[in-house]
A and B are shown apart, each in its own frame.
Chain A
Amino acid sequence: MTKNELIQGTLDMLVLRILDRGEMHGWGIAERIGNLSGDVLSVGEGSLYPALYRMRDRGWIESEWGQSENNRKARYYRLTDSGRRQLQREKETWEHLVLAVSEVMATA
């Protein structure tokens, strides 16, 4: 199956959206994106972690160590209030973008 690279900005939005549902650890986020998109979108771990650290620096998410499902140590990430606001902003931007592209494709 071909792997489609995600544009960096979109990855941020996807991660925020996943975390909106609840806190999650790093590989859980990657798996979830893969599952939810039907494996169309696959997140390279090489992009995921830098994105997570960047978002953490900006204060959109915060992290803490905890226990995973199979009793292994894992670092959990969760959304902050400013992250929630950022998610909203990005969602709007995305929808605008999609609308514009569809317009062009439909009527050009």
Chain B
Amino acid sequence: MAEEMRLHIEHLARRNLADGLPPDEARFAAHRRFGGVDQFKEECRDRMGWRVVDDLVRDARVGSRFLRRNAGFAAVAMATLALCIGANTAIFSVVSALLLRPLPFPEPDRIVEIFNLFNAKKAPSNLVQYADYKASTSSYDCLGLWGLADVTVGSMERVTAAQCTAEMFDVLGARPVIGRFFTLGNSRWGEDRVAVLTEPFWEARFNRDPAVLGRTLNIDGEAFRIVGVAPPAIQAMDARVRIIRPIAWKPQWISPNDRYYFTTSLYGRLKPGVSAGQALAEAAAVERRYYETLTPSFRQLLDRASYRIGVGLLQTERVREFRSTLFLLQGAVAVVLAIGCINIANLLLTRANGRQGELAIRLALGAGRGAIARQLLVEGFLLTLSGAALGTGLAWVAVRAVDRFSARMAPELQSFGLDGRVLGFTVALTAVVGALTSLLPIAHILQANLLASIRRSSQGASGGRSVRMWGSILVTGQIASALVLLAGAGLLVHSFMKARAVDPGFDPRNLVACRIALPGAYQNGDRAAVFQKGLMQALREIPDVSGVALASSVPFEGHADGRGLTLKDSPVPADAAQPSATEVGVSVGYFQALHIQLLEGRLFEERDADKEGSEYIVDEQFARRYFPGRSAVGQHFTFQNRHLPAKTEDWPVIIGVVRNVPHNGVEDRSNRPVSYWPLRSSWLPWVSTEAGGLNILVRSPRPTSELVSIVREKLRGVDPSVPLFHTESVQTVIEESLDGRRAVMLLLGGFALLALLLSSVGIYGVLAYDVSLRTREIGIRSAIGASRGQIIGMVMRQGLWRAGTGLGLGLAAAVLLSRCMQGMLYGLKPSDPWSYAPVSLLLAAVALVASYLPSRRAAAIDPVRALKME
């Protein structure tokens, strides 16, 4: 089209030339006759409907020029956006992966877990319940058991293995990648030497070779035949699983006596049309029927422990423990985002106010209000988009860090990443933020009488007034929100400090823990005894070693289990809680090696090894709680609650009382006392397969790595087929037990500080704008004699009363909201003043500084210049 015009003009010019006009006049006349070519082209293009795209492109170019010229403002806005959107994306990626992403199984909302609750604490299930429910319920298509253990593969490789019944694969709806899964026959004792591999294991060890079927794999010293490979979806059950073996039993093992001893998890697939609630009702009925057959004393035990059966969706159950933390963090970043958006909206608003002159002229030149609105919107979006792009980059880095952290803290979960849903969330968030932060200034600008503002010299004083009011309200809100977050962070920090200060009850320094696993061959009595003797002797020979012991769990690792118990001569009142205790199996020399103080009675000795195992040592808490005012030594109790011994001498006896040790770490809320049982060699193989494993504890001033290699040498000397793993200094174990708490504290603390920073920028911005509006007034005041101090005071008062109101509101809100955090605190009430005071002071100090800076500028205003200013 342009070509055509050009040719036409040329033709006219030639004609003019022919008519006798001089050349440039000829051309000029032609152009003039043609009219404004560009405007004309525009009109033509108008009619062709390309206008919208054209205009947007032009707006974008103008907008980016504007942003480049106001680089400071743009940088602040983009940084704010990047941090806010980045943080939100990072947290949302975790929320998405844990709470929103459905399990990778067909119809995952029909997979349920059946579990047992004691005092609202969850325990898994067992073989007995599995057999019972299979026989007596009709809510399920299939039921399966699933448990985890660590095993030794080949000669020395330790691997996490799952054990499950054949139906488990049907419950999950998984299909083998190659080969097949277990049959029901594999659950018969002796016919269970088959294994199913998982994809990662098949890939790493066998390079995905399909010929792996039929080959044998050495697991815990026995040969298993590989029959199939499970699909990658199985990692959703636990990301660490590498091999799957069948659960096998002898029929006599399904004995009602073991019904309340919970070791393995039970899952079922609901029949179509059956809800979890209906399945729960049916399960409750089954338990009720069984309950009726129990002795009154045992029934009382169950009642006191508030025993209940539970049925829940697998989807929800597996992330139950993370839910409250995730909600807290997501809420916190949302608050940070809100604070940041307010800042950006304020920024854009004050900018727009400053451009009133420019925009008014554009209006006068013929731009429509729509065109101006569009321009401001495009600018806002450019800003938001660049901020969001930066933020996504930040989020990607953050998610990698979160992933690495969770691999340590919650290794059963699969990794996090920025998947489609998360990116979609980011895009949506960006759009909303961009719209919100741009629309406010646009609405404000278009309302104002721009033409009048050209005439009026100052920057729209009337527009300024409503901006100031909104600015005040919003900044007060920002401060209040920041304080709420700071208060939460303060509570967590204080809790963390209290948790760290807990007395471990033993001396963790110079103490190293390692784990060993005894292969199946040890189950024949004598070998274990020989092994134990040889090992202890070899370890004691190491120079610089002052203590050696074996134990069924390492303090602070959290693997010590507890059970309900019955006291012989102290009936418990009906309304009291069911007595229970955590059980720790220890060898002779344990208390000496750990420097746990003996308070009463005596410790285990070698001579006790020959007795038939009916002695316990208990801790102070046990003695004080169950035998108040008397000595616990010589008293009797038992964990065999179903079949209480008839004769007194058959009851286990307490031989000693030791100092309290929080065996499951600070996070254990069960408030259970501890009982120690003597770890005799016959128990060793069994203990080494439990969750806590069989642990060696060695006290020596040598550095950990050196000690570990020496221990490994000695172990090899006793039996080279026994692997040594999980070696750590006990000090590290204690530190790591606090990792989860520390992480949440740091995250919330980081968000709170970010909120504080953004709010202080908010105060600064509002006050600075205020000062710029009142420049003439301040100039006048200083001209008629106001001192520097008075002016500073005047401006600061503005800031401080807003901050003060925000602080007050924030404290009130924090006290109300902190009640939801009760579960995360340690040793504190939610209204703990020692947590609120420091953060309030911090906020006040920051607000003070943020108010001082603009007030200094105000005091520096030259009255002459201010008065002359138009």
Contacts and interface: CB of A to CB of B under 8 A. Distances in A.
A46 B44 CA distance: 9
A46 B47 contact: no
B33 A45 contact: yes
Interface string B837-865: 00000000000000000000000000000
Contacts of B40: 46, 49-50
B8 A46 contact: no
B801 interface: no
A84 interface: no
Contacts of A27: 7-8, 11-12
B48 interface: yes
A17 interface: no
Nearest to A48: B8
Nearest to A75: B4
A60 B133 CA distance: 83
Contacts of A73: 3, 7
Contacts of A26: 4, 8
Contacts of A45: 8, 33-35
B47 A50 contact: yes
B7 A53 contact: no
B3, B11, B34 interface centre (most CB from chain A within 10 Å): B11
B48 A53 contact: yes
A54 B47 contact: yes
Contacts of A21: none
Interface string B1-35: 10111011011100000000000000000000111
B35 A49 contact: no
Contact of A50 (B7, B8, B44): B44
A77 B43 CA distance: 21
Given A53-B48, A54-B47, A46 B34 contact: yes
A75 B33 CA distance: 20
Interface residues of B, number: 17
> By DSSP majority rule, is chain A's interface helix, strand, loop, or mixed?
helix
Interface string B30-72: 0001110000100110011000000000000000000000000
A66 to B, nearest CB: 12
Contacts of A50: 40, 43-44, 47
B5 A49 contact: yes
Contacts of B43: 50
A36 to B, nearest CB: 17
Given A45-B33, A45-B34, A53-B47, A74 B5 contact: no
A45 B3 CA distance: 14
A27 B35 CA distance: 14
A46 to B, nearest CB: 4
B4 A49 contact: yes
A44 interface: yes
Contacts of A49: 1, 4-5, 40, 44
Interface in A20-79: 26-27, 44-46, 49-50, 53-54, 57, 72-75
A44 B35 contact: yes
Interface string B549-574: 00000000000000000000000000
Nearest to A52: B4
> By DSSP majority rule, is chain B's interface helix, strand, loop, or mixed?
helix
Contacts of A44: 33, 35
Interface string B323-361: 000000000000000000000000000000000000000
A50 B37 CA distance: 12
Nearest to B10: A72
A53 B4 CA distance: 12
A45 B12 CA distance: 11
A50 B48 CA distance: 10
A27 B8 CA distance: 6
A53 B44 CA distance: 8
Nearest to B39: A46
A78 to B, nearest CB: 15
B4, B12, B47, B48 interface centre (most CB from chain A within 10 Å): B4
Contacts of A53: 1, 44, 47-48
A26 B40 CA distance: 15
Interface string B651-677: 000000000000000000000000000
Contacts of B12: 27
A44 to B, nearest CB: 7
Interface string B263-283: 000000000000000000000
Contacts of B3: 73
A44, A45, A57 interface centre (most CB from chain B within 10 Å): A45
A44 B12 CA distance: 12
Contacts of A74: 7
A45 B41 CA distance: 12
Nearest to A63: B4
B7 A72 contact: yes
A74 B9 CA distance: 12
A44 B3 CA distance: 18
A54 B46 CA distance: 11
A27 B4 CA distance: 10
B5, B8, B44, B48 interface centre (most CB from chain A within 10 Å): B8
A52 to B, nearest CB: 9
A46 B41 CA distance: 9
A46 B47 CA distance: 14
B277 to A, nearest CB: 65
A46 B35 contact: yes
A35 to B, nearest CB: 13
Nearest to A46: B35
B7, B33, B48 interface centre (most CB from chain A within 10 Å): B7
Nearest to A74: B7
Contacts of B5: 49
B565 to A, nearest CB: 93
Contacts of B4: 26, 49, 75
Contacts of B10: 72
Nearest to B12: A27
Nearest to B5: A49
Contacts of A46: 34-35, 40
Contacts of B33: 44-45
A54 B44 CA distance: 9
Nearest to A26: B8
Nearest to A54: B47
Contacts of B7: 27, 72-75
A95 to B, nearest CB: 29
Nearest to A42: B33
Contacts of B48: 53, 57
A27 B9 CA distance: 9
A27 B10 CA distance: 10
A45 B15 CA distance: 15
Interface in B411-448: none
A100 to B, nearest CB: 31
B12 to A, nearest CB: 7
Nearest to B30: A45
Contacts of A72: 7, 10-11
Interface string B718-747: 000000000000000000000000000000
A32 to B, nearest CB: 13
A75 B12 CA distance: 15
A85 B10 CA distance: 34
Interface string B179-217: 000000000000000000000000000000000000000
A27 B5 CA distance: 10
20 contacts: A26-B8, A27-B7, A27-B8, A27-B11, A27-B12, A44-B35, A45-B33, A45-B34, A49-B1, A49-B40, A50-B44, A53-B1, A53-B44, A53-B48, A57-B48, A72-B7, A72-B10, A74-B7, A75-B4, A75-B7
Interface of B: 1, 3-5, 7-8, 10-12, 33-35, 40, 43-44, 47-48
Given A50-B44, A53-B1, 9 more contacts: A27-B11, A44-B35, A46-B35, A49-B40, A49-B44, A50-B47, A57-B47, A72-B11, A74-B7
Complex A-B, nearest 3 residue pairs according to Cβ-Cβ distance, in ascending order? A46-B35, A27-B8, A45-B34
